[in-house]
Amino acid sequence: MFDIGIGEILLVAIVGLLIFGPERLPRAAADAAKWLNQLRSMASGARKDLADSAGIDLTETVDTVKSLQEFHPRRLAAGFLKDDPADEAPKGAVEKPAAPRPAFDPDAT
């Protein structure tokens, strides 16, 4: 969801420590977490109320969006780069053992 690294978290912690001080920082962090939780619950309630008043079934919409994830560029590229399934042996077929690999020669490269 958020692309926050350890550096950004440390920067926020240091700024918070400088602004609030070591004795008030835990209380400020707890208040911020409580506000964030309230904001999430209000957004969830508003989304539910909006969907109910519009008569929209959100599960259907969510399923449609999830089905579109297969068209994500990374998944498409991974699908194109996979080996061709026609090259694979059919089910029940006995695979030949792989040929032994030659010894590695570092001077050959």
Which pLDDT tens digit goes with each residue over 41-76?
999 999 888 888 887 777 777 888 888 888 888 888
Q: What is the DSSP letter of 86?
A: G
pLDDT, residue 59, reads 78
Confidence of residue 108 (pLDDT cuts 50, 70, 90): confident
Over 90: is that where the pLDDT of 87 sits? no
Predicted pLDDT of residue 98: 72
Q: How far apart are CA 48 and CA 62, in angstroms?
A: 13
Query: Considering the entire predicted model, what is its pTM?
Result: 0.44
What are the helix and strand counts (H, E) for the chain?
Answer: 4, 0
